[in-house]
Chains A and B, each alone.
Chain A
């Protein structure tokens, strides 16, 4: 097995993969080393020089490269081997390798879907905390833990939402900073960024929590739909996360009889005095 070392980026892999294709090396002959894992034992044992590249050009559809680039954001062992196998098959004319009904293609589409979902999770479940930016630094900061490498490609979305406001997102791996005009992506994320994102206090969160508690309808408790749509791994970074178990147990303990939030039912009510005839809307005769 020949080891292929590259910098771990898609551009680096693409360059390396083109080279291997030109050498005519089949997927099972290669092991991909992107610097994230220990070097492959068997790769080190292999001292034979691979065949030299010939100059034949490799042609694959543009759409395939787009798909491979997006699928490369999926974190897993063997991330690059599948991509090369599909590239190899398509380069040989086997276009089924790209399709969802194929064994390799279905794995590719599963990864594409997971990457798309994870970008969507970033857009949905990230929470910015406002901070006093007069002393410098971004106006909004957020801490997020994505499962795949989607931060760089998906965070431009927030520049569209927030206009000229400045913001920073820190993750356990990389980070992005929007200075009002340009997006800066840094990998790995600087420790000061992580500290700022996780350490900023939010004094006005109570308003959102009040809303969340009231818009919930305890008469319709449905835990499984909640967990399908908002995976539990995101709860700990959401301000409303700690409320969820409490709201569920309140609902189970009897508040389920009707839809009213507990915070509302404890307040005094008020009937409105009006005569039925007085309030009828005036309508032109039909």
Chain B
């Protein structure tokens, strides 16, 4: 098989893993040195595909031969897909060539499970080692960690990779038993724990060798089973806490060719995935708890964003006076982000905040209006019922897809 054909198959096989971040790595530079590659903490999206997702890394599987039979996965052993396998050298060649052209900022490498978890993990580590040691590559490397791989192999992976990730895939053990018979929650969490310890040891000692300096992430598939958003968000919250994850990615289940009957034939609305990302962002950046966003079982509203939903359920905090309120409360106002909140607090040291100032900060005014008080403005909606405001602000239903 020609290299270009392998690339065609193994990029297609890898794209259902949605993580693409190339950020969080320490500053590295090749200026004046042999080898190539740099990182500076910021991620770069080098292209976007027509699905709107960014291309930051060469994202491929080492092989899509796989012994496991995860029902939601296009590469499961019972799937009738074309199969291919790269040699480690081939992945290295592609990475360096794309990197020189400025098409990517690094490599995201994962693999189907061949022979055993340890054998598969060894192969992944070998590629990273070749890149770092033989070719002095200083760009970004993200390695998928195979659950059940030995802690020694995970430790070795952490020395070469900027980021490691173990996919939890489904948030409950019962779903894993039904849809991913070879997987289990305990070994997944064990691997996450090994990575957490590695990161903490490396950062506690200055002279310790680096270990996955950009931390670890995971992915949950949304809509392949009946799990609701509440369970998903509470699971994400405990993963952030227990394993210090940098990111949880939510991947709307994407229908696959010759789909088995155990998984849906249709994708969940992409809007559901979008709302989960918004809620996740509120937990990471705004100090929201999962229980504030969804206090019982169920899903996030699709017609309004989770911050607006929270505000409408908590009218006792509103309207907020922008000339007095604490910055953390201002950031909880729908339509006003953390940056705008900080800018408002800085500006009010110079002058009283007026409505036009908020408008110049390019806040989403229509959303913010019912919830704010300024020097020259009080909302007429302050006494209006939440339901009425919700109807005014809800996003128009989307047109259904043709297929």
Decide yes or no whether B67 CB sits under 8 A from chain A: yes
Give every chain B residue within 8 A of A274 (Cβ-Cβ): 67, 77
At the interface, yes or no: A286 with Cβ under 8 Å from chain B?
Answer: yes
* Cβ-based interface call for A281 (8 A): yes
Neighbouring B residues of A208 by C-beta, 8 Å: 98, 101, 103
Residues of B within 8 Å of A225, CB to CB, are 48, 52
- Which A residues lie within 8 Å of B347 (CB)? 96, 99-102
- A181 contacts the other chain (CB 8 A): yes
**Quick one: which of B1-39 are within 8 Å of A by CB?**
3-4, 7-9, 11-12, 14-16, 29-38
Residues of B close to A36: CB separation below 8 A? none
Contact indicator per residue, chain A 242-286, by CB within 8 Å of chain B (1) or not (0) = 001001100110101111110111011111101010011101001
A280 neighbours in B (Cβ, 8 Å): 181-182
Q: Contacting A267 at CB < 8 Å: which of B31, B33, B82?
A: B82
Residues on A with beta carbons closer than 8 Å to the beta carbon of B255: 219, 257-259
The count of residues in chain B whose C-beta lies closer than 8 Å to any C-beta of chain A is 88
A221-B50 in contact given A159-B31, A160-B38, A267-B82 (Cβ < 8 Å): yes
> Measured between C-beta atoms, what is the minimum distance from B319 to chain A in Å?
19
Q: Chain B residues near A198 (CB, 8 Å)? A: none
A side interface size, CB within 8 A: 82
**Listed A/B pairs (15) with beta-carbon separation below 8 Å:** A96-B350, A102-B360, A162-B30, A207-B98, A210-B7, A216-B49, A219-B254, A220-B252, A240-B47, A254-B403, A256-B403, A264-B82, A270-B80, A270-B83, A271-B80
Interface residues of A (CB under 8 A from B): 95-96, 99-103, 106, 120, 123-130, 140, 142, 157-165, 181, 204, 206-208, 210-226, 229-230, 238, 240, 244, 247-248, 251-252, 254, 256-261, 263-265, 267-272, 274, 276, 279-281, 283, 286
6 additional A-B residue pairs with CB within 8 Å, beyond A128-B100, A226-B49:
A102-B360, A130-B100, A207-B97, A238-B47, A259-B255, A272-B77
Chain B residues packing against A (C-beta within 8 Å): 3-4, 7-9, 11-12, 14-16, 29-38, 40, 44-55, 58-59, 65-69, 74, 77-83, 94, 97-103, 113, 116-117, 139, 148, 181-182, 184, 186-187, 252, 254-257, 259, 267, 270, 343-344, 346-347, 350-351, 353, 357-358, 360-361, 401-403
